[in-house]
Amino acid sequence: MGKSIEEIFLNLESEGLFDENKTIYLLDLPNESMLNRIALKPLENEVFVFARGYNDDLRIGTTFDVIFPRKQIDDYLECTIELKYVSVNPKYDTDYLPKGYSGICLLKFSKGLPVQMLSKLANYDEKKDFLKHDKLILTQKKGFNKLLNVIKAV
Amino acid sequence: MFSSIKNVGLCGCLVLILGVCGVSAPVDMPPSLLFGGSAQKFEIDRGLDQDQANIQILDDFYKSREIDDEFTNTIKEEIASYGLGYLQGRFRLGLGIGNTFAAISSGFCANKNNAATDFCVFWAQCGLLINLGMLSASSLDLLYAKLSKSYNELPKGSFEGTNQKILEDELDLKGSIVGEGVHWAGKITTTAELKTFLNTIDETTTITQLEQKGIKSFFRGTTRSKADNSLFPGNLNTQVFGISTSTDPIKATIFSIESATSNGAYKGVLQIGLPNDLKNIALSAPNYRVAKELEVVLNTPASNFANLSKVEISVENARKLVKEVYGVDLPTNLPRSYADELLETIPESSLDKAFEFYQKAIQYNIK
């Protein structure tokens, strides 16, 4: 029996595929109480999410060009997504998402919000149902194409 | 409601002084002694005992503020039910928060805006009540509703932006506390209480206060170089804003496994600190996901925490103990996609179990 897509993904991830490409993982959606602590309000095509970057500090202004659900890689979308704002802690501001940290990030989607894709994210306070919910991964086409090629080859 | 400050009760001005001066009282000091001679005179003049005096202050205060009796009655009932000892118990933990309120209030007063000044005096009085230990979850609930309403009635632009944001934060913080029903007296007994309490930590909170709430051990999952055993110093954010620890050894072990998995040149370790060894370290407010990570942020370099920690064990032994104490079999490797999921799905440790983990970890200590 061949490897599942998930196993392939995890292998490539462990081998550092996403370390070579700016990548951010969307975990879930912040609750209203958290958002009330942030003066900024999302404009059109913008959304607040909880995100974590693993491979690098991610500066405001960083862009990604692919978004996909971790467990359904085929459902990917190509669009430019910009990191517009980061808040790791309600008591201070940073202009980047530090490596390894989770923070509230404001993302701007160039082609409109992918509502269906974003609906896979659970709310922060919600008990996660891993059949229904998923993480979303934002990365670069180069790295993503490599992932697709490996999957096709298996 | 805030048309004049002439009718503001005695306590408002006093707490402003207390808050600005950062005054604190010994734990067993009766609340009235906070006022020095003034409060005692107030009580003597009226022929009241201390509890009656507190109730009288509240009565006068709320009558002057044209606030209904519901809030006052709630506090009266609490005083009647629990007595002074109860108030003193809560007074200990309310102290830091109360002073914060008062300090914020004094900042607003400095703006010399009538509406803001009036509001800030009201706010300062809330600080006093918390300092006196006279606010519990139920009365905070009422207070919060009133504060929110009052705040929204104020003309926008009354405050400097920074102060306004601080006020919003504090209102929100109180709302969170009320919503989840934290009682300030006694030790934490449930994970829900722990999460809510951790969310209230800020730079005014002390390690000793955490210990009084039952937090007896702090866990940090990190890595050391396989080549020279040097400690991972944390990234720039850690170095500037403090290191993350957890009250939960399972979560800290997960972080250690994850860190070691993502960098083959490093080995995972779990460090465990005790309150008595860490008591001189300042705390910082937790990050947003405190409830998932049961996080306590210590404002100290990773190396200092490592030095002060009583115990350091290998991640392999940490896994073994997680299995022994909690019956949870953690994987030896954790791809980044799974670490966050595990944090969501594994059972959370009680504070007592966490301390048991520490006691068992001593046998594997490599320090």
How does DSSP assign B276-327, residue by residue? HHHTTSPEEPPPTTHHHHTEEEESS-HHHHHHH-SEEEEHHHHHHHHHHHH-
Distance CA B199, CA B291 (A): 8
What's the whole-number mean pLDDT along residues B169-188?
Answer: 46
Residue-level length of chain A:
154
More confident: B52 or B99: B52
- For residue A24, pLDDT beyond 70: yes
What's the whole-number mean pLDDT along residues A88-116?
Answer: 92
Using pLDDT thresholds of 50, 70 and 90, give the confidence band for residue B105: very low
More confident: B130 or B89: B130
Interface ipTM: 0.90
Number of CB atoms found within 10 A of residue A99's CB: 16
Cross-strand pairs, A137 = A25, A68
pLDDT above 90 covers what percent of chain B? 35
A13: Cβ contacts below 8 Å, ≥ 6 apart: B335, B336, B337
- The answer to whether B137 touches B182, Cβ cutoff 8 Å, is yes
Residue B50 burial by CB count (10 A; 0-12/13-18/19+): exposed, middle or buried? Answer: middle
In a mutational test of the A interface, the residue from B202, B240, B287, B348 whose CB has the highest number of chain A CBs within 10 Å is: B287
More confident: B84 or A91: A91
More confident: B311 or B17: B311
- For residue B30, pLDDT beyond 80: no
CA-based torsion, B252, B254, B259, B264: positive or negative: positive
Chain B residues whose CB is inside 8 A of the A104 CB are 288
Of B236, B288, B341, the CB nearest to A89: B288
- The answer to whether B269 touches B315, Cβ cutoff 8 Å, is yes
Of B168, B237, B238, the CB nearest to A36: B168
Average pLDDT of chain B to the nearest whole number: 67
In the prediction, which pLDDT does A85 show? 94
pLDDT above 70 covers what percent of chain A? 98
- The answer to whether A26 touches A77, Cβ cutoff 8 Å, is no
- Tell me how close the Cα of B152 comes to any Cα of chain A, in angstroms: 14
B355: Cβ contacts below 8 Å, ≥ 6 apart: B216, B217
More confident: B117 or A99: A99
Among the ranges given (A73-87, B242-256, B331-345), the one the predictor scored with the smallest mean pLDDT: B331-345
Q: What SS3 class is residue A25? A: strand
- Tell me how close the Cα of A112 comes to any Cα of chain B, in angstroms: 26
Distance CA B167, CA B111 (A): 14
More confident: B293 or B264: B293
| pLDDT tens, residue by residue, B215-261 | 999 999 999 999 999 988 777 777 778 899 999 999 999 999 998 98
**HSE value, Cβ hemisphere, 13 Å, CA-based, for B62:** 20
Distance CA B126, CA B128 (A): 5
A33·B172 Cβ contact <8 A: yes
Number of CB atoms found within 10 A of residue A142's CB: 12
What's the whole-number mean pLDDT along residues B266-272?
Answer: 96
CA distances A37 to A34, A96, A122, B291, Å, are 5, 18, 20, 16
Using pLDDT thresholds of 50, 70 and 90, give the confidence band for residue B6: very low
Using pLDDT thresholds of 50, 70 and 90, give the confidence band for residue B295: very high
In the prediction, which pLDDT does B59 show? 56
**Token output for A138:** 């934002």
Distance CA A110, CA A81 (A): 6
- For residue B296, pLDDT beyond 60: yes
In the prediction, which pLDDT does B42 show? 39
Distance CA B42, CA B6 (A): 19
B288·A98 Cβ contact <8 A: no
What's the whole-number mean pLDDT along residues A11-17?
Answer: 78
Residue A22 burial by CB count (10 A; 0-12/13-18/19+): exposed, middle or buried? Answer: buried
In the prediction, which pLDDT does A65 show? 95
Put simply, whether B287 touches A (Cβ < 8 Å) is yes
What's the whole-number mean pLDDT along residues B175-196?
Answer: 62
Chain B residues whose CB is inside 8 A of the A90 CB are 169, 285, 288
- For residue B180, pLDDT beyond 60: no
In the prediction, which pLDDT does A3 show? 63
Distance CA A83, CA A105 (A): 7
B337·A70 Cβ contact <8 A: yes
Distance CA A98, CA B290 (A): 16
In the prediction, which pLDDT does B142 show? 53
- Tell me how close the Cα of A14 comes to any Cα of chain B, in angstroms: 6
What's the whole-number mean pLDDT along residues B75-102?
Answer: 42
Of B176, B237, B286, the CB nearest to A101: B237
Helices (runs of H) and strands (runs of E) counted in chain A: 4, 9
CA-based nearest residue in chain A for residue B260: A14
Chain B residues whose CB is inside 8 A of the A54 CB are 262, 336
B237·A98 Cβ contact <8 A: yes
For strands A46-52 and A77-87, give the pairing.
unpaired
Distance CA B109, CA A29 (A): 37
CA-CA-CA-CA dihedral for B148, B152, B155, B161, to nearest 10: 70
**Token output for B341:** 């999921």
| pLDDT tens, residue by residue, B316-331 | 999 999 999 999 999 9
Helices (runs of H) and strands (runs of E) counted in chain B: 17, 6
CA distances A80 to A17, A18, A115, B316, Å, are 20, 17, 15, 42
B284·A91 Cβ contact <8 A: yes
In the prediction, which pLDDT does B102 show? 42
In the prediction, which pLDDT does B63 show? 53
Cross-strand pairs, A81 = A64, A109
Distance CA B82, CA B80 (A): 6
Among the ranges given (B18-27, B51-60, B214-223, B274-283), the one the predictor scored with the smallest mean pLDDT: B18-27
B236·A98 Cβ contact <8 A: yes
Using pLDDT thresholds of 50, 70 and 90, give the confidence band for residue B121: very low
Alpha helices in B31-160 (DSSP H): 37-46, 50-64, 69-109, 114-131, 137-153
**Token output for A23:** 């990548």
